[in-house]
Amino acid sequence: MADAIGIMEKIKKAAVDAQESTKPVQVYFGKVTAASPLEIRVEQKLKLSERQLILTRSVTDYMTTVDVSWETEHESGGSGAEAYARHGHAILGQKQIKVHNGLAVGEEVILLRQQEGQKFIVLDRIGGGR
């Protein structure tokens, strides 16, 4: 009888595995529990470490180039010399900026699990965020 139960369990597992393999991805929701190193808890039971996560640009800090056309504020400063008198000037052209978009503790995220894998893609944050 024990052999029959073992065989039935293997058959059930094979059926579940076969059904899971037809799903290209699974969607999960998680909460950031640590920022450095990054850690995300999924559905109160699964803790994902940085090694298991693939981060998209929408949840990371990154550098980008932007076109700017700014005018500085009219401020004075320095030693009081004429070169530091109250003035303003234009800032024009393409400039490099850093976008601070990394995840913070407490933020909720949408994750996609790779088919048959242990890697999770952190797609985006949920709600108000930054």
What's the pTM value of the predicted model, to 2 decimals? 0.65
* Contact in structure between 41 and 30 (CB atoms under 8 Å): yes
DSSP class of residue 44 equals T
Three-point CA angle 31, 36, 37, nearest 5°: 85
Tokens of 22: 């037809």
Per-residue pLDDT at 124 = 94
Tokens 């699964």 correspond to: 46
Q: Which domains are present in the chain?
A: 26-64+100-125 (2.40.50)
- φ/ψ bin of 127: left (φ > 0), alpha (ψ from -120 to 50), beta (otherwise): left
Q: pLDDT-based confidence at 29, cuts 50/70/90?
A: very high
Q: How confident is the model at residue 91 (pLDDT cuts 50, 70, 90)?
A: confident
